[in-house]
Amino acid sequence: MAKKPFDKFMNTRSNAAKKEGFRQAKREIKKEIAEGMARTKARKAEEAAQAKAIRAAGGVPTRNAHGARKTDAPAPHKPAHKAPRPETPQSKAAPKAPPHTDNPRPASPRPPAAPTEDRKFFVPAKPRKADSPEPRPIAPSAKVAARTRPVAPPKPRPARPETGEARPAAARPAPGSPAKAAPKAPSGPQMPLNKYIAHSGICSRREAADMVKEGVVKVNGKVITEPGHKIEKGDEVKVNGKKIVPTGNLVYILLNKPKDYITTSNDPEGRKTVIDLVRKATDERVYPVGRLDRNTTGVLLLTNDGELAQKLAHPAYEVKKVYEVRLDKELTKKDFDHIMAGVTLEDGPITPDALAYADSKDKSVIGIEIHSGKNRIVRRLFEHMGYTVKNLDRVMYAGLTKKNVDRGRWRFLAEKEVRLLKFLNTSFTRKKV
């Protein structure tokens, strides 16, 4: 192995000598690099000159296997045919033996190929002898014959047993013609009468059954007292003389009710109602679920789903409601404990589910959770304890809140919220209902 240029300086003991050795090695390396670059430059210039001379002579410079340009001059043109060898007595005496082959027939001479520029893809046709007979037609195979066999006409269908006439063959539609529509199913019974009334948005199915039994429902002019009576398509149903039509689109609207609005669908005195706030929301007839006083604000649900409205108003489902109450004075600890223990009003006892101070610094703001649906229950509860309710706001109803809904504004419920309402408290209310 050859030593590097600075190996001879590594055996010295002096540091100065080592440094000088490294400097000398660097100088030698730089010198070798410069000489190599000069040699490469000279070689390239020489190759360029040789390539120029080859082009002047009519040749084409090429490159070798390493990518370098070949500068050799083109080889002289070789003659197309070699000169014949002189005959010798030995070649005359010994005839040339034919090549060894298993085929006893002599090989026929190959016809000359037609002139073409690219003979690589040219396959000359073998000429037919003048005295050879015409080629016989090849009989088609069984598979080919089966494919080319003529198609038999369709067989007539068996005769109908009731008439004895033959059924006509079904004609296929012409390509591009519209497909034949499927026959419609005969119109049968759609739904029971009580369900029909509930879907009209008047009341729940249970209340509709009671109305039918009372005889206030007419179907096509006849009084029907059976709630399970099937309603056909096109039947006319009237309740108390008014025609009803089931709503095909159920609507659920959450409203953040402001003050001075009545929670009703129609007010005889002409006062503002909550329907006025959602009149542009839908063309369906919706009505409020539950009631809020005129001066009470907060979450209010409006829908045309009578069955869901009846469920939310039923006391067995214990729908939770959360209110924020602002009193005229601070609620004392004694009254706080008294309310949590239960208060007996004129219509019976009432016990809140939860009670807390909404603001630790202002004990006149109270949060109360209750599931009772009695009229004005929160106001009557605090008035019984000697307090005056200055402001009452419902912040939650059946899990629905007024988040991101300004006062006087509304929004539609999401599909998930509707599903939760329909299955709200179903697990423990089935036994009570």
Secondary element (H or E) of residue 301: strand 296-303
The residues facing 166 across adjacent strands are 159
In the annotation, is 305 catalytic?
A: no
- In DSSP notation, 32-91 reads HHHHHHHHHHHHHHHHHHHHHHHHHTT---EE-TTSPEE-PPPPPPPPSSPPPPPP-HHH
CA dist., res. 288 & res. 72, Å (int): 103
- In DSSP notation, 218-255 reads EETTEE---TTPEEPTT--EEETTEEE---SS--EEEE
Tell how far CA 220 is from the center of its chain.
47
H helix count then E strand count, the chain: 10, 19
Residues 6 or more apart whose Cβ sits within 8 Å of residue 289: 300, 301, 302, 303, 308, 309, 312, 313
Phi, psi angle pair for 349, to nearest 5°: -75, 155
Q: Is residue 21 within 8 Å of residue 8, measured between CB atoms?
A: yes
CA 113 vs CA 119, 126, 130, 340: distances in Å: 9, 10, 19, 116
Radius of gyration (C-alpha) of the chain in whole angstroms: 54
Phi, psi angle pair for 383, to nearest 5°: -65, -35
Q: Is residue 240 within 8 Å of residue 200, measured between CB atoms?
A: no
Among the options 267, 293, 335, 353, which is catalytic?
A: 293
Residue indicated by tokens 């006025």:
276
Beta strands 389-397; 296-303: pairing state = parallel
CA dist., res. 124 & res. 109, Å (int): 13
Q: Three-class SS of residue 27?
A: helix
Q: Which residues are catalytic?
A: 293
